[in-house]
Amino acid sequence: TEIDWKAYMQEVEGFANGTLDYTQLKGDTGPLVYPAGFVYIFLGLYYATGRGVNIRLAQYLFAGLYLLNLLLVFRIYCRTSKVPPYVFFFMCCASYRIHSIFVLRLFNDPVAMAILFLAVNLFLEERWSWGCLLFSLAVSVKMNILLFAPGLLFLLLQRFGLLGCIPKLCICALLQVVLGLPFLLVNPLGYLARSFDLGRQFLFKWTVNWRFLPEEVFQNRAFHAALLVAHLAGLGLFALHRWHSSKENILTLLKDPAQRKPASPPLTVNNIIIFILFSSNFLGVCCSRSLHYQFYVWYFHTLPYLLWCTPTTKLAHMPKVLLLGVIELCWNTYPSTVCSSLALHICHGLILLQLWYGTAPTPVSHTTPPSRKHTAMSKKAQ
126 occurs within a structural domain: yes
370 occurs within a structural domain: no
| % of the chain residues with pLDDT over 70 | 91
What pLDDT is stored for residue 359 in this prediction? 73
Closest CA to 124 of 281, 325, 275, 268: 268
112 occurs within a structural domain: yes
155 with 165: CB under 8 angstroms? no
303 occurs within a structural domain: yes
374 occurs within a structural domain: no
Closest CA to 278 of 185, 167, 151: 151
Confidence class for position 253, pLDDT limits 50, 70, 90: confident
What pLDDT is stored for residue 1 in this prediction? 63
Indicate the average pLDDT of the chain.
89
287: left (phi over 0), alpha (psi -120 to 50) or beta: alpha
Structurally, the chain folds into a number of domains equal to 1
Q: Which domain holds residue 51?
A: 2-357
Which stretch of 55-59, 325-329, 369-373 has the lowest confidence by average pLDDT? Answer: 369-373
372 occurs within a structural domain: no
Running DSSP on this structure, what letter comes out for residue 253?
Answer: G
What pLDDT is stored for residue 248 in this prediction? 75
Q: What is the 3-state secondary structure (H, E, C) of 12-48?
A: HHHHHCCCCCHHHCEECCEECCCCHHHHHHHHHHHHH
What pLDDT is stored for residue 163 in this prediction? 93
What pLDDT is stored for residue 365 in this prediction? 42
pLDDT surpassing 90 at residue 172:
yes
Mean pLDDT along residues 187-212: 89
Bigger pLDDT: 7 vs 373: 7
Distance (Å, whole) CA 152 – CA 165: 10
369 occurs within a structural domain: no
363 occurs within a structural domain: no
